[in-house]
Amino acid sequence: MLLALVSSQTQVDAAAHAGADLVELVRATQQEIIGIRERYPDITVCAADVAMARAAGTMAICTGIVAARASGLPAARLLVEVPLSLVPLASREGWAAVVDADHAAAQARGRSGPAGGSGASSDVAGDPDSGVLAIAAIASWLGAAAVRTRHPEPVRRALDMTASIRGLRPPARAIRGLA
């Protein structure tokens, strides 16, 4: 699943158009969450604040398995942010793992992003570098339930390609007898 990290209604619209399954609105109010849920009923809204998630009836994103256990929310309402190396463990323990591709790519390049997620992860504004796409593909391959990014359109393509390679979805266009 694609989790788009957004900060405005315009970005929510773009994420929905790009095929995001979930959106996380940075510093969201309960009214904003309700508005998004009404406008896009097929997209799940997530909150990094457990109290906000509980009040708004959304999914909560917890930083790590310990925080998920402490949240008091059922596993069905939680996404647990883990590094790539812990995706299989989180999945085995019954948690829906989420990987922040933007932040992981920034760390891999030796830069740390700002707190709460995505750092400078592109050479051209709005375009992710290849590291973001690679990490999204690897996270999907390892079984992450969701990949968080500020670049929903190219990451959606990377996730779709990974699913096609794994045989979980048909290719968008079959050529040379691949059908």
Q: Residue 174 domain-assigned? A: no
| Dist. CA 141–CA 5, nearest whole Å | 21
Buried b (16+ CB within 10 A) or exposed e, 144-157: bbbbbbbbbbbbbb
Q: Residue 175 domain-assigned? A: no
**Eight-state DSSP code of residue 176:** T
| Dist. CA 120–CA 59, nearest whole Å | 26
107-118: pLDDT as tens digits: 998 865 544 444
How much is the average pLDDT of 142-150? 96
Question: Up-side HSE of residue 130: CA atoms within 13 Å toward CB?
Answer: 0
Looking at the chain, the whole-number percentage of residues with pLDDT higher than 70 is 89
Q: Residue 162 domain-assigned? A: yes
- Domain region containing 109: 2-166
Question: Up-side HSE of residue 36: CA atoms within 13 Å toward CB?
Answer: 32
CATH of the domain at 64: 3.20.20.20
The one-letter amino acid at 47: A
Structural domains of the chain, count: 1
Residue 177 has pLDDT above 70, yes or no: no
| Residue matched to tokens 């709005």 | 126
Confidence of residue 126 (pLDDT cuts 50, 70, 90): low
Of residues 128, 151, 133, 144, the one with CA closest to residue 84: 144
Q: Residue 24 domain-assigned? A: yes
Q: Residue 148 domain-assigned? A: yes
Q: Residue 149 domain-assigned? A: yes
Q: Residue 177 domain-assigned? A: no
| Dist. CA 161–CA 32, nearest whole Å | 32
Radius of gyration of the chain (CA): 16
Q: What is the pLDDT of residue 39?
A: 95
Calculate the average pLDDT of the chain.
88
User: In angstroms, what CA-CA distances link 137 with 44, 59, 164?
Assistant: 21, 23, 11
Q: Residue 134 domain-assigned? A: yes
Residue 2 has pLDDT above 90, yes or no: yes
Highest mean pLDDT out of 121-130, 131-140, 165-174: 131-140
Quote the tokens at residue 87.
């995706």
12-61: pLDDT as tens digits: 999 999 999 999 988 888 899 999 999 999 999 999 889 999 988 899 99
| Strand 146-149 with 44-47, pairing | unpaired
Question: The pTM is what?
Answer: 0.84
Confidence of residue 124 (pLDDT cuts 50, 70, 90): very low
